[in-house]
Structure 1
Amino acid sequence: MTDHAWNGPFVPGLKYSVTVEACNRADMCTIRSSDGLVVDNSPPIRGIVYVGPGNGHNKYLSQRSSIQIRWDEFEDPHSSIDHYEVCVSTINGVCDVVKRSNVLFHSNIFKSNITLPTNDPLTATVWATNGVGMWVSQVSDTFIIDDIPPIVKEAPQFKNIQTVQGQHYQWDKSIIKLQWHFSDDISPIIRHEISLKTHHDGHTPVEHVVLGSERTLSISLDGNNWLHSGDTYYAIVTACNAAGLCTSERTNDLLIDSTPPHLGGFNEPLFWTEYKNAYGHIYSNLTLTWYGFYDPESRVEKYFITVSRKYSDTELSEGVFTVLASNDTKLDMQSTLGLSELLSPGESIILSFGHKIVLDLIAPPQE
């Protein structure tokens, strides 16, 4: 007799072995034992499947040519896990993106040299097979490939500023206001990073700010961190989508000018002459020379001059004369103004003089 059968019951998970003793007629015996076997009548315990780098599941991925799949908590208390199989599928397909393959006893794989479809929900499936050939499968949450970074819908710009001839100015050095708009058609914008820089790469009070999906930033600075008058600032805004792709865009330069223009004075020549118009009426031409009206941070755009025999009036100039400024504020400025009446020798007149920089800070009159 070379075989024998036992009828249970056998306890799942316990290891059973068979021992055979063979004796000859001389009572000489040999004993041999089997390797043993485990009774297992149930499949493995189902685990969890993750897609993407990191510890959790990534809803959006940026790479089409590779993928990382991880799984955990698959186990079999009776016959242990023998091997795993993995594939990637579309929602309506089965292993139609990455074919099913045996990955032995690994708990994660990295597949490269593949082509994943974009903007299409995908899933990863893992099969776990135990020592007796029973298996269980688990499907990951869906994930989407987005390989296009965010696009700029509205470039970052400073708010509540003034712009003249393409140059941007702000007089308030205690506040920063920005707005922008990035968009992504596949994965949402989840993070914005904002940096404020100067033209000389110096320290700024807002070197790195991280926001969520907001599209504006307003910061009130304390007195120790005010912006510096005369410095030019610009901001860089970086928008990142849920797939980890980012796009950066910078603002235009912003000049901070918090001081009014410098007051100068009058210089020689300073005189008037008479002239007769086409109707025979005699009037006076007033020639003025001035200096020192400038702004240390901004460019002087124009000068305003009124002439009167009394304060706060303009009857001799019939309003305000406007004279465009020279590009070189170190040079004396001169202009001849036609008055509405004839001046008499020894007569006192009052000159009111102001000027305007492109930031629209008006200097008080010099009289």
Structure 2
Amino acid sequence: MIPALRLTSLSLSPGQRYFTSVTACNQRALCTTAVSDGVISDDTPPVPGWLLDGFSGEDADFQSSRTTLSAHWVDFYDLESGLLSMEWRGGTRPGQGDIFPPTKLVVTNKASVTLLQPLPLDKTIYVTLKVFNKAGQWVERTSDGIQIDVTAPVESQQVRLSESSGSFNEDSQVSLFSSRFPLVRAEVGHNAIP
């Protein structure tokens, strides 16, 4: 009896499911056949999507939290064998893990980590995501980075209320209220998330 058999140099088509059947017969010619549940040939890595800084929405360039780092992603997939798992890390350079080391994830579209050490104020923080398919292939993407900004906006001029729109009389209803107050960020810029 042969307990295992290995075939090599086969020309398998990616995405195609292949089955193995084994028939065992005794000396009286009584036979039983068993069929596997199949295996899908997959010799390509997952298709990479977009990795965005911040927990949701558009890619964030700034955040105020020094203890939490988040990222979300879209359009990572694998048509042949499907996605198996993910891994992410954060660093002060693309691909590095000096902020937090590689951490396993189930297949998801976002992750967040609470850090023991505060995030640095003077560096861009990059998140790297590694996505594995069920055939062991993987693809990796790094975000464009996020900076920490803990300064409040600075008022550049006094707030002005417009008297040309609406009513400011006693016992009346304001139908339109308009105000203008330009703000200047003292440290790094705009596009911030809380």
1:130-157, CA deviations, whole angstroms, 9 ceiling, x for partnerless residues?
1121111011112111121113454446
Q: Structure 1's 89 and 242: CA in aligned 2 closer, same or farther, altered over 3 A?
A: same
Structure 2 counterparts to residues 238-317 of structure 1, below 5 A: 241-244=190-193
When residues 67 and 202 of structure 1 are mapped into structure 2, their CA distance, relative to the original with a 3 A threshold, is farther
Aligned partners of 1:61, 1:200: CA distance in 2, in Å? 42
Matched to 2:46, the amino acid is: P
Where 1:67 maps in the other structure, the secondary structure is strand
1:102 matched to 2:117: no
Q: Identify the residue that residue 265 of structure 1 maps to in structure 2.
A: none
Distance in 1, Cα, partners of 2:191 & 2:145: 14
Counterpart amino acid of 1:61? Q
Higher alpha-carbon Rg: 1
Does 1:21 pair with 2:23?
Answer: yes
Residue by residue over 1:51-105, the C-alpha shift from the partner in whole angstroms, topping out at 9 and shown as x without a partner, is: 1144220111122121221111111122211101111111377111122100121
Total equivalences in the alignment: 187
Q: With structure 2 as the length reference, what TM-score do the two structures score?
A: 0.79
Work out the CA distance in 2 between the residues paired with 1:108 and 1:90.
20
Q: CA deviation digits over 1:236-291, x for unaligned, max 9? A: xxxx953257xxxxxxxxxxxxxxxxxxxxxxxxxxxxxxxxxxxxxxxxxxxxxx
- 5+ residue gaps, structure 1, are 159-172, 177-195, 216-239, 246-367
Runs of 4+, deviation exceeding 3 Å: 3-7, 152-158, 173-176, 196-206, 208-211
Instruction: Report the CA distance shift for 1:200/1:34 in structure 2 as closer, same or farther (over 3 A).
Output: same
Shift of 1:25: 1.4
User: Could you tell me which residue of structure 2 aligns to residue 124 of structure 1?
Assistant: 127
Greater relative contact order (CA < 8 Å, ≥ 6 in sequence): 2
Q: Distance in 1 between matches of 2:171 and 2:128?
A: 51
Is 1:90–1:96's contact at 8 Å kept on the other side of the alignment? yes
Which one of the candidate residues 151, 159, 183 is aligned to 2:154?
151
Q: 1:214 to 1:149 in 2, by over 3 A?
A: closer
- Partners of 2:168 and 2:164 lie apart in 1 by 15
CA RMSD, aligned part only?
A: 3.3
Preserved contact between residue 150 and residue 241 of structure 1 (Cα < 8 Å): no
- Alignment check: 8 A CA contact 1:60 1:243 kept: yes
SS at the partner of 1:57?
A: coil
Rounded to whole Å, the distance in 2 between the matches of 1:52 and 1:113 is 15
Same amino acid, percent of matched pairs:
22
Q: How does 1:1-367 map to 2 (within 5 A)?
A: 1-2=1-2, 3-6=4-7, 7-91=9-93, 94-114=96-116, 115-156=118-159, 203-204=173-174, 207-209=177-179, 213=182, 241-244=190-193
More strand by share: 1
